[in-house]
Structure 1
Amino acid sequence: MAPLVVCVGLTTIDVVQQVVELPRANAKIVAHGLRVDVGGPAANAARVAAALGCQVRLVTALGGSDLADLARNRLDGIEIVDVAPADHQVPVSTVLVTPDGARAVVSRNATGLTQQTLPSSEIVRDADVVLHDGHLVDASTALAALSASPIHLLDGGSWKPGLQMLLPSLDVAVVSADFALPGHSPEQALDDLAGYGIPRLARTHGAQPVVYAVAERPGELPVPDVKAVDTTGAGDVLHGALAAHLAEGLGFVEALRQAIDLASRSVTGRGVLAWHPVRTPSAPSRSTTPTTP
């Protein structure tokens, strides 16, 4: 049986437009390309883990809108546990991508979610890895407290309020160059996270080498030199691939190495699955409503 990865966090609808340059104030520009797709760190990571052959369960906030239906259609083959009320509106992210692959993003993220139903322990009972992006920190903290048997992995794109409650339950944290604990600098992030007892840590920094530490022993992994077309979601690809490889039983450093390679390949095309060959259609996603433990 394929390993099970549970991803907990944000789903968005991404409207991605290719532009020559970012607009200045009060300017209007014409895009030369458009893509509408599902996005969000947890949802993207879930799609990547599924493409790598894992069973995937996504704990997220969708609600009952037409945009939620669009998201469900794009999350084919992934079991969805929806913690949002029916009137919740899936956030829309506006993404502008320039020819060098750089991007600017505007999104409400999960700030519009006023209430959520906490998932039950059944959600993670058979999981091999649980990935948390921090956007649904209440759900993440509840699941981490219910089950210590899976590997709990943090996608630390940025600091989220309440994240300090989740950190002591983590086994792995991979953070961006912008991640910092309140009142601290990003350069202190790995030391700060080690202070919470997290034994396996890494920090990405774009095309620069990935710095990691295992039981406080440091190391570096190179990032392949590629021509970037679109860096949107590259970190999500890395985290989804890392979760999949850890679930398969690879050691942290080798799993991280392979995840870095896949994330680098992903920026040479458009979309988080541009690296993946065309797949035969999988079964439609199915949604469940969680029950409070």
Structure 2
Amino acid sequence: MSRALFIGRSVLDVVSLVEDFPGPDGKIKALSNELMSGGSALNAAVVFAHLSGTATLASSLGAPSLMHDFVIADLESRRIQIRDICNDPNYQIPFSSVVSTRSLGTRMIVNGSGDECSLFNDCADLFTHDFDLIQLDQYERPFVEKYYDDIKAFAGPVILDGGSWKDCSPDFLRLADIPIVSEVFCQNDARAFADMCTDLGLTRWAITRGANGVLWRDGDNSGEIPSVPVSAVDTMGAGDIFHGAFCYTFCETGNFVQALNAANQIAAKSCEGSGTRSWMDA
């Protein structure tokens, strides 16, 4: 069975689906409301487990609270192996407010306030486990810095989920073997990102571009995967779902382009329902 370690931030998402965004000072009635655990690495781990892999999530969960207990119960129900890396009794899982529109299939996200955890449990043994790959999501930066050498020494591939460019992105790119990033991550254009990967010795990478499909390079080969036509209701978490599906298929097949194709199909399917889980439960 494929086994993967996902390192990243966990949040509690308060999600509202509306027909259209309200204007300034406006009000609108939600078509649905949902409370769910979220975060890029968390969502990818859930997808990996849903597709029959064994997923371990290393994330800051903090002291017991209603938020903590909700996230733990959700992860356990999805068969995620949990490793709470945070040893700060004052740390609280952040809230994230999400409003998605049915008419446009777009969303607005307000991330929670608060700093990342900087006091950690001893997790050195985590990197001695027999994982097939590690995925990073550019969060839990103090933890990644602490175990930078362990991640760098990992024998399998390290996948980077680059949703947007951050100050820490160069450091995460230097850890990655396969960066799979959104077009928002590419500050200038795809060519500049390709040149950056070449400078870092990265021969496999992909850029997800939503309705414009996926660009990829694998050594001397490159190509484009067209988008999958769907009637999008909600694109929330589609990138996270793409990464979880890619990681699972890549573990199973070892075929980079095949894994990208599978991820492209699954991420598109997820947009036909609201939230990040409805496609799994349908």
Q: What TM-score do the two structures reach when normalised by structure 1?
A: 0.87
Q: Secondary structure at the match of 2:278?
A: coil
The alpha-carbon deviation at position 234 of structure 1 amounts to 0.3
2:127 to 121, 124, 128: 124
Q: Which structure: greater helix fraction?
A: 2
Going from structure 1 to structure 2, the CA distance change for 1:83 and 1:229 (only over 3 Å counts) comes to same
The residue number in structure 2 matching 1:53 is 52
Going from structure 1 to structure 2, the CA distance change for 1:32 and 1:277 (only over 3 Å counts) comes to closer
Aligned residue identity for 2:161:
D
Instruction: Verify: 1:87 aligned to 2:93, yes or no.
Output: no
The residue number in structure 1 matching 2:181 is 175
Aligned residue identity for 2:200:
Y
Task: Provide structure 1 residue ranges, at least 5 long, that are not aligned to the other structure.
Answer: 279-293
The residue number in structure 1 matching 2:171 is 165
Instruction: Verify: 1:68 aligned to 2:74, yes or no.
Output: no
Q: Is this contact kept in 1: 2:232–2:271, CA < 8 A?
A: yes
1:240 to 244, 251, 257: 244
* CA–CA separation in structure 2 for the residues paired with 1:122 and 1:10: 20
Going from structure 1 to structure 2, the CA distance change for 1:74 and 1:155 (only over 3 Å counts) comes to same
Task: Provide structure 2 residue ranges, at least 5 long, that are not aligned to the other structure.
Answer: none
- Fraction of identical pairs, as percent: 31
Going from structure 1 to structure 2, the CA distance change for 1:108 and 1:191 (only over 3 Å counts) comes to farther
Q: What TM-score do the two structures reach when normalised by structure 2?
A: 0.90
Going from structure 1 to structure 2, the CA distance change for 1:73 and 1:178 (only over 3 Å counts) comes to same
| Counterparts of residues 111-260 of structure 1 (less than 5 Å) | 111-117=114-120, 120-125=123-128, 126-143=130-147, 145-146=149-150, 147-180=153-186, 184-187=187-190, 188-215=192-219, 217-260=221-264
Q: Is this contact kept in 2: 1:7–1:42, CA < 8 A?
A: yes
* CA–CA separation in structure 2 for the residues paired with 1:144 and 1:252: 25
Count residues in correspondence. 273
Deviation string 1:115-166 (CA, Å, 9 cap, x unpaired) is 1427534213311010100111333355452132121000000123333223
Instruction: Verify: 1:103 aligned to 2:103, yes or no.
Output: no
The residue number in structure 1 matching 2:23 is 24
Aligned residue identity for 2:22:
P
The alpha-carbon deviation at position 240 of structure 1 amounts to 0.5
Deviation string 1:204-250 (CA, Å, 9 cap, x unpaired) is 11111200111253211111101001100000000011111122133
Structure 1 range deviating more: 40-49 or 116-125? 116-125
The alpha-carbon deviation at position 80 of structure 1 amounts to 1.4
The residue number in structure 2 matching 1:264 is 268
* CA–CA separation in structure 1 for the residues paired with 2:111 and 2:220: 35
* CA–CA separation in structure 1 for the residues paired with 2:117 and 2:39: 18
Q: Pick 1 or 2: higher relative contact order, CA cutoff 8 A, min separation 6.
A: 1
* CA–CA separation in structure 1 for the residues paired with 2:48 and 2:172: 22
The alpha-carbon deviation at position 198 of structure 1 amounts to 1.8
CA RMSD of aligned residues (A): 1.9
* CA–CA separation in structure 2 for the residues paired with 1:195 and 1:121: 30
Q: Is this contact kept in 1: 2:62–2:93, CA < 8 A?
A: yes
The alpha-carbon deviation at position 171 of structure 1 amounts to 1.2
Q: Is this contact kept in 2: 1:269–1:275, CA < 8 A?
A: yes
Aligned residue identity for 2:26:
A
* CA–CA separation in structure 1 for the residues paired with 2:148 and 2:16: 37
